[in-house]
């Protein structure tokens, strides 16, 4: 595919400079392979002159086949008073043995004087010498003009001179960097036009997000002649981060009709975003444009009714184009359409259950008035729905439970034990379990009592636990909402409970989680029996 725009990823170098992110060597290799599979043109692996991990990465990547992307090593121009052919950083770039080398040089006269403390002419010579030497070694050279926009605003003649020299030295692409991230989007067009009057080389854009404009500035630069864009997955990067390729790529393909990645590959966008978050041990932002869980969520009854008739009424693209999906939320703002749509998602036909639907909607509005929220508690909603339709089965009856918390000294940890009595199929079960806290102990005691009759519960565990005080003005007597996430290793579901007592609220959420699991297993067993009967 002939391309209009080339995509350059620097997650493994610039992205790793983000606070709280540190990739292992294996992490970096996995991400590189994922980005190559996705279809990016360039993957910047790191700065081999700055740390041993980067050197090991490039060594390992020599035996890792990239099918589409070109691997780039990153570094700086040679040091002052040194020739490029004798500079250790330049030597490390060559030893990395990558087809592409990206180097940055000073463009802003302030940096030349105050950071490098050399003359403006000497800086120009350094840029030329470094690029020319790397070109003599057969490298594709991408030149990052660091602080270009600030440099241009300070001394336009000098900033232009530095990139003109880079072009004369043979740089394949010259990338204009907004390194401090403070350039306004309205400034980009004029500067891009001035650059193109001076230089005919391919131009790129590298924007940081300190003013919240990195994506906007990147797209504007592309509309004014840049055919190379640098960024990171999910906008990772130092300070406020880099331009977010997860937002830039679909905007280029779907909004500007630019050829940069095959349209079919765009369906992997959400997967790639979540994969990199997972490797970085970060929770995906649910409001992340294009790929966040909430991005195509609809809550208001008017919105839902319109979206079900025509999604364009409240969606700027089809969620499937970027590998996302639509979510219809159920809340006190819901209408009948929300309930019906949500039921369809769950495979439940409400077409003949209008009375039950109205009753369920009334119940939900009343429960949300008490403090319940079902947006992130789809497990509780499904249990509630099946109760309203008479499709709920009672798996056990609680006879009572007790939670004991004991502290034996000021420096000793709290000890927690829960005991529980259940009636299961007419048989009384009385069990106990300790735990890390009262909720954990209660959850373990419940599943211990149920596991003999329902062994599938051994495979589930609480993966998250959140408590929200609903009305803080009530102080310690305030109601709390407990949201529990449960996982079976493959799927996750949320359940919710509300009470003035945090243990009671937690119990309600735990029971919904267990009942949701058991109901799902009943459905699977029923389908298997039906399939077996049909095949026989």
What positions carry a catalytic annotation? 303
Residues forming a β-bridge with 82: none
Q: How many CA atoms lie within 13 A of 165 on its CB side?
A: 22
CB 209 within 8 A of CB 183: no
Q: Which of 225, 221, 218 is nearest to 198 (CA)?
A: 225
- Residue 370 tokens, joined: 């008490």
For residue 87, the SS3 value is coil
Start-to-end CA distance of the chain, whole Å, equals 51
51-60 contacts at long range (C-beta below 8 A, 24 or more positions apart): 53/25, 53/28, 54/13, 55/92, 55/96, 56/25, 57/12, 57/25, 57/28, 57/29, 58/96, 58/97, 58/98, 60/25, 60/29
Q: Could you tell me what percentage of the chain is helix, strand and coil, using 3-state DSSP and rounding each to the nearest 5?
A: 45, 20, 35
Q: Are 213 and 185 in contact (CB under 8 A)?
A: yes
- Tracing tokens 């000098």 back to the chain, one arrives at 158
Please give the Cα distance from 135 to 129 (Å, whole number): 10
Residues 123 and 162 sit within 8 Å (Cβ to Cβ): yes
Comparing C-alpha atoms, which of 44, 22, 29 is closest to residue 231? Answer: 44
Q: 142: closest CA among 177, 112, 108, 104?
A: 104
CA distance 100 to 141: 6
Q: How far is CA 224 from CA 8, 211, 228, in A?
A: 18, 20, 12
Sheet holding 397-406, edge to edge: 397-406, 415-424, 427-435
Question: Encoding tokens for residue 35?
Answer: 């980005």
Q: Find the radius of gyration of the CA atoms of the chain.
A: 29
Q: Count of alpha carbons within 13 Å of 211, Cβ hemisphere only? A: 13
Q: Are 290 and 269 in contact (CB under 8 A)?
A: yes
Query: Is the CB of residue 524 less than 8 Å from the CB of residue 504?
Result: no
Q: Please choose, from the candidates 92, 34, 95, 45, the residue with its C-alpha nearest in 3D space to the C-alpha of residue 70.
A: 45
Q: State how far the Cα of 278 lies from the Cα of 104, in Å rounded to an integer.
A: 30
Residue 204 is encoded by which pair of tokens?
């790129």
How does DSSP assign 458-522, residue by residue?
Answer: GG-EEEEEEEEES-GGGGGGS-EEEEEEEE-SS-EEEEEEEESSHHHHHHHHHHHHHHHHHHHHH
């Amino acid at each position: 595919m002939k391309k209009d725009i080339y995509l350059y990823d620097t997650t493994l170098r610039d992205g790793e400079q983000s606070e709280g992110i540190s990739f292992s060597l294996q992490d970096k290799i996995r991400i590189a392979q994922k980005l190559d599979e996705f279809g990016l043109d360039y993957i910047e692996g790191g700065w081999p002159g700055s740390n041993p991990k980067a050197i090991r990465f490039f060594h390992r990547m020599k035996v890792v086949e990239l099918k589409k992307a070109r691997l780039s090593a990153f570094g700086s121009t040679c040091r002052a008073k040194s020739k490029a052919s004798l500079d250790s950083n330049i030597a490390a770039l060559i030893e990395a043995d990558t087809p592409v080398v990206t180097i940055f040089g000073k463009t802003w006269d302030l940096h030349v004087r105050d950071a490098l403390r050399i003359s403006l002419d000497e800086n120009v010579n350094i840029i030329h010498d470094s690029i020319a030497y790397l070109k003599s070694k057969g490298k594709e050279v991408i030149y990052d003009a660091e602080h270009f926009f600030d440099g241009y605003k300070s001394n336009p003649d000098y900033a232009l001179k530095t990139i003109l020299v880079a072009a004369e030295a043979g740089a394949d692409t010259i990338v204009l960097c907004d390194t401090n991230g403070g350039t306004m989007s309205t400034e980009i067009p004029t500067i891009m036009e001035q650059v193109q009057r001076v230089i005919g080389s391919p131009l790129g854009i590298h924007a940081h997000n300190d003013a919240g404009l990195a994506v906007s500035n990147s797209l504007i630069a592309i509309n004014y002649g840049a055919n190379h864009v640098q960024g990171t997955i999910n906008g990772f990067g130092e300070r406020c981060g880099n331009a977010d390729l997860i937002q830039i790529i679909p905007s280029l393909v779907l909004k500007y009709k630019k050829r940069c990645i095959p349209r079919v590959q765009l369906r992997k966008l959400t997967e790639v975003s979540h994969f990199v978050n997972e490797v970085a041990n970060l929770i995906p932002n649910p409001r992340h444009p294009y790929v966040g869980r909430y991005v195509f969520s609809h809550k208001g009854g008017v919105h839902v009714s319109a979206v079900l008739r025509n999604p364009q009424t409240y969606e700027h693209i089809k969620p499937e184009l970027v590998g996302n999906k639509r979510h219809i939320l159920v809340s006190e703002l819901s209408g009948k359409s929300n309930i019906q749509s949500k039921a369809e998602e769950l495979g439940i036909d409400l077409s003949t259950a209008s009375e039950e639907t109205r009753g369920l909607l009334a119940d939900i509005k009343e429960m949300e008035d008490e403090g319940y929220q079902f947006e992130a508690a789809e497990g509780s909603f499904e249990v509630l729905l099946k109760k309203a339709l008479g499709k709920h089965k009672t798996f056990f009856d609680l006879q009572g439970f007790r939670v004991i918390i004991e502290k034996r000294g000021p420096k000793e940890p709290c000890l927690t034990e829960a005991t529980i009595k259940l009636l299961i199929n007419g048989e009384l079960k009385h069990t106990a379990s300790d735990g890390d806290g009262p909720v954990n102990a209660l959850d373990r005691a419940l599943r211990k009592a149920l596991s003999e009759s329902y062994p599938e519960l051994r495979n589930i565990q609480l993966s998250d636990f959140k408590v929200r005080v609903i009305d803080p003005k009530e102080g310690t007597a305030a109601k709390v909402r407990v949201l529990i996430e449960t996982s079976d290793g493959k799927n996750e579901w949320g359940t919710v409970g509300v009470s003035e007592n945090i243990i009671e609220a937690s119990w309600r959420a735990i029971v919904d989680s267990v009942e949701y699991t058991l109901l799902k297993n009943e459905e699977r067993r029923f389908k298997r029996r039906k399939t077996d009967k049909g095949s026989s």
